[in-house]
Structure 1
């Protein structure tokens, strides 16, 4: 048998290596921006067309390259950042592997124009699929311009796996944010298809966050600062009331490098313990300065994974620093951990003098015995805080023979005998389920009507959310929204769905945008999300006292729903305790 092992040609080896470094247009953006920063640039321009599939250009005013260096940068494992393995533990630059430019040139058509301050002329190199097509002297300003066209032109299968332009451009803006946030002293600009998306002048870190995510962000930030021998922690966390269900506003930087680290993320969650519900995520922009010798960033070509020499100590410092900052700003968990977060006692009540309760007790009262009055038809529920037109007719007539008596416990649960056991119902979730089905039933029979507004409704959002809304304008139109204008951090509607009050709109937009910002598809249809949002906004809250007839009516309406055991988003509505289970328990 003859020899079968052979060396791959350089261009094939480069294409294979590019699979780890260049996964999508955003990968190219990341590498080029980091190269510009390492070159000492104070101004960086990113120009993108067709979400990076057709054109990506990064122009900087850094120190530039000589002709030999310009040619050498396209060779694999050619770098100016390190010369020995020991240098890996002294790194202060973004790049060091010497793979990025070779990988990009292997799967795209690249033009490089660069000039140093000492040279009279710059150099231009055109390279396509690792083959140099042209190299010549040219006039140029100091710095470097790199243009990448037709990404994956020679690997059609990779190009076909790219997502929609909206998704790919969102990945590009994510990379742009990660670089711009940590290098606030550099002027950045981003243009897409000829339109300016971001213009970020050099500023403080706090100003940079507000420039990217909106002016309202400034008042949401809580500074975090802590310095030890092991690590220096700085940056900001968002106040708990601005937590979201997505992890879109979470940024960790180690030595000015964006990283992903589940262990450190858990430290942040631990610091917010008692301040957030289980489905909420805190926002943060945190920077850790760690001696280079105490970490290893050479884990993956994307350099977003880091190993620390003592991650347990880092965890403790980070958690303590955030808790201290939240405490300084009088943000601390309440002492009553059983209180329902949706019920808040008005501040004035805390200042009022205590009043002895006036309670009359009927020693003969039995909550499980049916009174003659309870067998009479019940009157309709009246929730004064819900406008009358927001109620639809029940889907099915209440079965009044199911439940005749109920009592309320902790102004949160309804307890009633039912068939062969006892039902314990969460009153807020029960009403949420009822309202959800009423809205869905209404929209099964008719389209979602739109209402014109006398005064446009302005909603303040961060820039990525506004970009998503503009990208999905047609879907919003189908749901009854009419977009009037969109600015840097504000969007205006001239019409909204007829069933929506002004206060409902921000809650709906948040629920609708969360999956989009994560790059996932909606688990619910558009109408499902609308119905769920309205139901959550308008259902009775825990902490509300219900009259006896209101309790019975609520139970009857729930039992008339198509589905009764869970809310539309999967939360348990009631618990049944079977009679035989009670018999078994008390037989012990």
Structure 2
């Protein structure tokens, strides 16, 4: 009987490995940038075309490779980072498995140029789908240039699974930012379709963060620093007032390697306890330095997850460090026991009782005492003369009034003609449907068959959703102009996203006056929207569009309408007056689909009188 188990050919094994290592163009960017960092480069350039589908090229000025190493680096499990298993627990480099270049070469056209500093000539290698096409000596500068073209050219199914260029480019930018933030001492530049996207000169951590995210990032940061035997912590956390809805600007670095850790994130959130509103996420850039033998990096193919030896101690140290920094820089509310000595009671008066001031009153003073009449001055001057009226003659003031009452009675007033009402007052009071608010969340309205219980938040979402969708479809949205334009700061990626959404946002009532390199100027906002809500609306919109902008215009408008409706709808705990409750009820049942919210959740339920009777009959 023939054997069933067979060894896979190298090109098939490389393609299988590529499925774990290379998921999208951003994976290629990550591997090539980390290789350039490991090569000791001080200047790294990233060139992208068509969001990495056509070209991903990384050029560095590192140490380069010899002729033998340049050919050997494309073999599986060939690496210069480790020699034995014990080296896995003393890693100081990014990569160590030796699978990245072999996997990339199996699914793309690869062109590599490399040269060491002391060599006269470099090496130029071309590989297509794990097949060596050529290897020639060439005159090259010191360093390595690695170009990956036509990614997934031999795996059409994988290429079809790629998202739009906007989504893929966002993933590339994420990987670029992670490497650039971890190494501020390296000069990074990035180009996309011939345009310069990032130009990051070598600097310190704070300046690198500001250069990457631009805007007013510097004003948002609070430094943290702690040094213990277990870990050395440094970096920055954001002030609570700058918290956002999404989790975009959150970075953990362990030994200059970006990682994802829900456990450490929970420690950060615990430090912000009581300082953030519900659903908000703080910004943080935290750099941890631990002994290499206390962590295990080799637990995930992308090396973004790390296992720590003593997670509980690390959790406590990180939480206390952030909490201390927030209090030290007067970000968190603290009790201030320092007193102003100028406001203290002087020492010589501490044991003395207060002396009350004495008030002298002239008991014989009478402001209503009779005064002598003033005489007229000579010369005919107009002086006023006081007329005294004797109290005994007061009755004379009212003489003749009884006789004049007939004249008063002769006045007649035109009577208004009273028209009978169409309905009896008692019947009219009974026909009025009053609404009631329960726990500032539900609105109860009586109907003929029973009553309607409405969720005020979902109902308002449905109303706003249809209004925004109608405005964007008809292009007749009204806008309220601001007296002073509103300037808002965003990162480069967020500004590009808003620029792409500008036509749709203008159809909802926004008026954009100008786009700067790090901010936008808004001179008009939608009706019934306050200026303080604009920041929340745009942040929620950017959070909802993390996976990219839909291709079709209807889907794009639908996403924007849903996001804005969710941001501007009344929340649970908001008190509504009786008129507001009635308006909400009437507007909901005027919608095309009043039964469900934009997110397909019920907006109201009905309870019949028969159902209520059955409950009492139990």
Give unpaired runs (5+ residues) of structure 2.
336-424
Q: Aligned residues, how many?
A: 521
| Aligned-partner Cα distance in 2 for 1:485–1:182 | 33
Residue 216 of structure 2 aligns to a residue whose secondary structure is: helix
Cα deviation, residue 3, structure 1:
2.2
Cα deviation, residue 275, structure 1:
1.6
Q: Could you tell me whether the CA contact under 8 Å between 1:436 and 1:568 is conserved in 2?
A: no
Q: Could you tell me whether the CA contact under 8 Å between 2:15 and 2:103 is conserved in 1?
A: yes
| Aligned-partner Cα distance in 2 for 1:375–1:222 | 66
1:383 aligns with: none
Q: Could you tell me whether the CA contact under 8 Å between 1:249 and 1:283 is conserved in 2?
A: yes
Q: Could you tell me whether the CA contact under 8 Å between 1:248 and 1:518 is conserved in 2?
A: no
The 3 A distance-change label for structure 1 pair 469 and 5 is: same
| Aligned-partner Cα distance in 1 for 2:93–2:333 | 40
2:582 counterpart of 1:556: yes
1:401 aligns with: 432
CA offsets, 1:69-105, max 9 Å, x none? 1111111111111101000000011011111111111
| Aligned-partner Cα distance in 2 for 1:554–1:452 | 22
Give unpaired runs (5+ residues) of structure 1.
336-372, 378-398
CA offsets, 1:497-548, max 9 Å, x none? 577666554333222211222458799973675587478559699798x8xx
Cα deviation, residue 484, structure 1:
6.3
Q: Could you tell me whether the CA contact under 8 Å between 2:537 and 2:568 is conserved in 1?
A: no
Aligned ranges 1:92-491 → 2 under 5 Å: 92-332=92-332, 401-403=432-434, 436=464, 439=467, 443=471, 446-449=474-477, 458-473=487-502, 475-476=504-505, 479=508, 486-491=515-520
CA offsets, 1:466-509, max 9 Å, x none? 12223445544654657665443123568765776665543332
Cα deviation, residue 572, structure 1:
11
| Aligned-partner Cα distance in 2 for 1:274–1:581 | 43
CA offsets, 1:153-202, max 9 Å, x none? 11111111111111111100000010001111111001000001111111
CA offsets, 1:414-436, max 9 Å, x none? 99997999999999x59956973
CA offsets, 1:193-219, max 9 Å, x none? 000111111111111111111130110
CA offsets, 1:33-60, max 9 Å, x none? 0000001111100000000000011000
2:12 aligns with: 12
Structure possessing the higher radius of gyration over alpha carbons:
2
| Aligned-partner Cα distance in 2 for 1:400–1:430 | 27
| Aligned-partner Cα distance in 2 for 1:524–1:313 | 48
Q: Could you tell me whether the CA contact under 8 Å between 1:435 and 1:535 is conserved in 2?
A: no
Q: Could you tell me whether the CA contact under 8 Å between 2:327 and 2:334 is conserved in 1?
A: no
Q: Could you tell me whether the CA contact under 8 Å between 2:562 and 2:598 is conserved in 1?
A: no
Q: Could you tell me whether the CA contact under 8 Å between 1:236 and 1:285 is conserved in 2?
A: yes
Residue 74 of structure 1 aligns to a residue whose secondary structure is: coil
Q: Which moved more, 1:475-484 or 1:512-521?
A: 475-484
1:64 aligns with: 64
| Aligned-partner Cα distance in 2 for 1:91–1:24 | 26
2:535 aligns with: 506
Q: Could you tell me whether the CA contact under 8 Å between 2:297 and 2:305 is conserved in 1?
A: yes
| Aligned-partner Cα distance in 1 for 2:85–2:473 | 70
Cα deviation, residue 62, structure 1:
0.9
Aligned ranges 1:513-524 → 2 under 5 Å: 513-519=542-548
CA offsets, 1:295-350, max 9 Å, x none? 10011221111111111111111111111111112233699xxxxxxxxxxxxxxx
The 3 A distance-change label for structure 1 pair 424 and 96 is: same
Provide TM-score, normalisation by structure 2.
0.73
2:561 counterpart of 1:526: no
CA offsets, 1:254-300, max 9 Å, x none? 11111111111111111111122332222211111111100100112
The 3 A distance-change label for structure 1 pair 82 and 538 is: closer
The 3 A distance-change label for structure 1 pair 127 and 414 is: closer
The 3 A distance-change label for structure 1 pair 471 and 102 is: farther
CA RMSD of aligned residues (A): 4.1
Cα deviation, residue 459, structure 1:
3.2
| Aligned-partner Cα distance in 1 for 2:73–2:277 | 50
| Aligned-partner Cα distance in 1 for 2:559–2:103 | 45
CA offsets, 1:373-421, max 9 Å, x none? 99999xxxxxxxxxxxxxxxxxxxxx973337x7999xx6899997999
Residue 278 of structure 1 aligns to a residue whose secondary structure is: coil
1:370 aligns with: none
The 3 A distance-change label for structure 1 pair 543 and 5 is: closer
Q: Which moved more, 1:130-139 or 1:322-331?
A: 322-331
Provide TM-score, normalisation by structure 1.
0.76
| Aligned-partner Cα distance in 2 for 1:147–1:464 | 25
Q: Could you tell me whether the CA contact under 8 Å between 2:108 and 2:153 is conserved in 1?
A: yes
The 3 A distance-change label for structure 1 pair 474 and 123 is: farther
Q: Could you tell me whether the CA contact under 8 Å between 2:475 and 2:507 is conserved in 1?
A: no
